[in-house]
Amino acid sequence: MIQQLTIDTIDIIERKTAMLENTISNFTMGINSNNDMIDALFFILEQTAFFGNVVLNFPEITRKILKSQNIWKEIIIWSFNFASKMQYLVDESIITEISLAIEELNNTKQKSELTNYRENNYLPKKKTFKKGMTKQKRGPKLIKYDL
């Protein structure tokens, strides 16, 4: 399922990148090409943010999928870098998510104070308390309704 999701995402990014390059090369067309360029730009940013979320939720699976196809990894890394350069068009949380996804895919140590909040080791561990053994007194015991 994640492999199919990866294939679809990469296909959309490739098509919209080609469309974006085509509209930039034929920029003299006017307003219609401008709308196509904006549409392609936001499709790329949307798919990149979505795939960044997938990478953060399933890092091992996406690493395995992208390891088998180097071209896919190059396209995804390009789209992550492209989205990072377009930081004025997206929210700060998306930029953080994309930078975390880049670190996950490159399998690098944390360069910054950012952490993948979806990893289990980030969650605080619960302290375990042992109940102390109490000695029970010998002899008859009074119950509340006996009083």
pTM attached to this predicted model: 0.64
Could you give the C-alpha distances from 121 to 75, 115, 126, in angstroms and in order? Answer: 30, 10, 12
Q: CB of 77 within 8 A of CB of 102? A: yes
**In a 10 Å sphere around its CB, with 0-12 CB exposed, 13-18 middle and 19+ buried, how is residue 51 labelled?**
buried
Q: Tens-of-pLDDT digits for all 147 residues of the chain? A: 877 888 888 888 888 888 877 777 666 555 556 777 888 888 888 888 998 898 888 888 888 888 888 888 888 888 888 888 888 888 888 888 888 888 888 765 555 555 555 555 544 556 666 676 777 777 777 776 655
- Round to whole Å and give the CA distance between 99 and 96: 5
